[in-house]
Amino acid sequence: MRVDVVTIFPEYLAPLDLSLIGKARRTGILELAVHDLRTWTHDVHRTVDDTPYGGGPGMVMRPEPWGQCFDDLASPSTHLVVPTPAGAPFTQDLARAFSSDPHLLFACGRYEGIDQRVIDHAATRMRVSEVSLGDYVLFGGEVAVLVVMEAVTRLLPGVLGNADSLVEESHSAGVLEAPMYTKPPTWRGLDVPEVLRSGDHGKIARWRREEGLRRTAAQRPDLLSHLEGTGFQIPGVDV
Ligand SMILES: Nc1ncccc1[N+](=O)[O-]
């Protein structure tokens, strides 16, 4: 998979050199380049923003640098991903979809955002997805790219040593995963649930499924809304 990230703060993306993403890059699973948008400016001040038409506070990112940047970096198989509070919620399903794209091009907006014509023109020559991490406003898209890149990269074959951990994790099957425990068996008067030390794999699997559903009902009832009225039962929980 090839990934290009365009930003006016390239140093913000330095964490993409670390840990498992850095390893994915070194082993060739992931080809990633971070670009400074000002590369595509030609004035002495390397201007990337201007005042908004229609008035209002703040500045808007000019279309010309973005257009020339996309001319150089994009192709018809490119998927342009624009993090923005006005985007669709970024979910594990989207992470899974992105992880099978041959080329992701991230555009990090700053200020009040990017001139809308950049998105509209890009949509005439490549797939475009505007995604949001949540209902709050960040300074720009860079932090969102770090989050999306972590969620996507860990799904790439060969990145996680044990691919099995992708199976049971939260949101992989639409419910939250059960609580996890390790040694010691007792810690500050708190015991590991006996079933997990029973060696009975059928009972353990059942306990984990029920605990995951119980946790989902408590923390994220919205994930179980499709079960309402179906008569589905979770021991000790009102679905
Ligand atoms: N919430 C956000 N605020 C600014 C830029 C991007 C954002 N996001 O969620 O992707």
Nearest residue (CA) to ligand 1, atom 4: 138
Ligand 1 centre to CA of 131 (Å) is 8
- What spacing in Å lies between the alpha carbon of 44 and ligand 1's midpoint? 30
Q: Ligand 1 mean position to 230 CA, how many Å?
A: 36
Q: What is the pLDDT of residues 52-95, one digit of tens each?
A: 999 999 999 999 999 999 999 999 999 999 999 999 999 999 99
Neighbour tally for 151: CB within 10 Å:
18
Q: Which CATH number fits domain 2-161: 3.40.1280.10, 3.40.50.2300, 3.90.1170.30, 1.10.8.60?
A: 3.40.1280.10
What stretch of H or E contains 26?
A: helix 19-26
Please give the Cα distance from 76 to 55 (Å, whole number): 35
State what percent of residues in the chain have pLDDT above 70: 97
- The mean of the pLDDT values for the chain is 94
Residues with CB under 6 A from ligand 1: 83-85, 87, 132-134, 136-138, 140-141, 144
The domain spans of the chain are: 2-161, 168-227
| pLDDT computed for residue 169 by the predictor | 76
Strand partners, 190: 187
The question of ipTM being above 0.90 is answered as yes
**Atom from ligand 1 closest to the CA of residue 144:** 10
CATH architecture of 168-227: Orthogonal Bundle (1.10)
**Who wins on pLDDT, 1 or 163?**
1
pLDDT tens digits, 95-135: 999 999 999 999 999 989 999 999 999 999 999 999 999 99
At 168 the pLDDT is 64
Is pLDDT at 161 greater than 90 in this prediction? no
Residue 67 CA to residue 160 CA, distance in Å, equals 36
Asked if residue 190 has pLDDT above 80, the reply is: yes
The predicted model scores a pTM of: 0.92
pLDDT digits (tens, 9 = 90+) for 76-85: 999 999 999 9
In angstroms, what CA-CA distances link 9 with 77, 110, 139?
Answer: 26, 10, 11
pLDDT at 171: 81
